[in-house]
Amino acid sequence: MTMSDTTPLLQLRGITKTFGSVEALTDVDFEVRAGEVMALVGDNGAGKSTLIKCVAGTHAYDSGQILFEGREVSIHGPKDAARLGIEVVYQDLALCDNLDVVQNMYLGREVNRFQILNEAAMEHTTASTLKGLAVTTISSIRQPVATLSGGQRQSVAVAKAVQWNSKLVILDEPTAALGVAQTEQVLALVRRLGEQGLAVVIISHNLHDIFETADRITVLRLGRTVGIFERQTTSQQAVVEAITFGAPTKVSGIPSTYAPAPEVGGDG
C-alpha cells in the first residue's frame, strides 16, 4: 500500500446535496481510516442516510469531492461503490428468508461452471468467512435465514458484505431491532471488523452502542458537520450536546476541528 497510515481510506470534502429547494447536506466533511470504526450520529433529518447514500452511489451529490485511498473518485452508482470495495448493510438487511445462509452469502455472485452451481466451494468459503468473523452461534449454515434470530441475520448480512474483499463497510442502524444479548453479539462483530483492518462506518441512534464500538464519532446536525470526537477523550454528554445544539465546525469554508467545551468527568 502506498498510502500512509494517516491517509483516510475514505475522505469526503464539502459534500453538498439538495432535494429541490431543501439542502439535505451542506458542505459536509467526513473521513474514515482503515482499521477504524467511525460512528455517524445525528438526530432524525440530520442527513446521515443521505450522506451514506451519496457514498453508496444511490444518490448523486451536487458538489464536493470524494477521495478513496487518497485518490479522487467519482461514484455514480452502486456498482462504482462496490468496485471500490464499499459495501452497505441497510437496515432491512436484504436477505432472502427462503434461502439458506450459504445461498444468501453468494446471492447474485454464485460460484458456477457453465451456470451449474458449485455448492461445495460456496459452503466452504462461507464457513471460513463466518469462522474468521467468529460468528459461531449459527448451528447450521444450511438452515434457511427465516429460522435465524435477528442478531444472526445481522451477522450474516455483515459477513455477506465483507466477503467480497471490501475495504469499507457501512452499517445502517445494525442494532435497531435487536435485544440486549444480540446487540452485544453484533457490536462484538463490528469491533472485530475494525480489528481486521476494515474501515467501518456505523450509523446509530444509540450512544451506548457507539461508545462501545466506535473509535471516532462524527456528528451531523441539520445537514452540516458539527463535530468529530475521539471516543477516548469525550463523553456521551458532549456528543448529545453536539447532536442537539452543535454549531457548524466550518464557517465560511475554513475547516477546523470542533473544540469541545471543557469537559466534566471521563469518557462514557
In the complex, minimum distance from the CB of residue 191 to another protein, in angstroms, rounded to a whole number:
12
Sheet holding 168-172, edge to edge: 86-89, 168-172, 199-203, 37-42, 216-221, 224-230
- CA 51-55-56 angle, to 5 degrees, is 115
177 binds another protein (CB under 8 A): no
Q: Does 115 bind another protein (CB under 8 A)?
A: yes
Q: Which is nearer to another protein, 5 or 92 (CB)?
A: 92
Write down the least CB distance from residue 182 to another protein, Å.
Answer: 6
| Closer to another protein by Cβ: residue 120 or 259 | 120
Give the whole-angstrom CA distance, residue 145 versus residue 95. Answer: 8
Indicate the residue among 14 and 78 with the shorter CB distance to another protein: 78
Nearer to another protein, 94 or 247 (CB): 94
Given a contact cutoff of 8 angstroms between Cβ atoms, the answer to whether 95 and 156 are in contact is: yes
**CA–CA dist 117, 102 (Å, integer):** 12
R_g (Cα) of the chain, nearest Å: 19
As beta bridge partners, residue 172 has 203
Residues 181-200 that bind another protein (CB under 8 A): 181-182, 184-185, 188
By CB under 8 A, tell whether 99 contacts another protein: yes
Q: Does 36 bind another protein (CB under 8 A)?
A: no
Cβ-based nearer residue to another protein, 131 or 208: 131
List the x/- string, 48-87, binding to another protein by CB under 8 A.
------------------------------xx--------
Closest of 200, 91, 87, 211 to residue 150, by C-alpha: 91
> In this complex, which beta carbon is closest to another protein, that of residue 181 or of residue 261?
181
Residue type, 162: V
Rule CB under 8 A: which of 8-27 touch another protein? none
Contacts 24+ apart (CB under 8 A), 17-25: 17/47, 17/50, 17/54, 17/59, 17/61, 17/62, 18/62, 23/223, 24/50, 24/223, 25/50, 25/51, 25/54, 25/61, 25/223, 25/224
Annotate 35-47 with DSSP letters as a single string: T-EEEEEE-TTSS
168-172 and 199-203: which strand pairing? parallel
**Binding to another protein (CB under 8 A): which residues in 117-146?**
117-120, 123-124, 127, 130-131, 134, 136-142, 144, 146
Q: Taking the complex as a whole, how short is the minimal distance between the CB of residue 159 and another protein, in angstroms?
A: 12
Question: Which is closer to another protein, CB of 71 or CB of 131?
Answer: 131
Residues in the site for another protein, rule: CB under 8 A?
A: 78-79, 92-99, 103, 107-110, 112, 115-120, 123-124, 127, 130-131, 134, 136-142, 144, 146-149, 151-152, 181-182, 184-185, 188
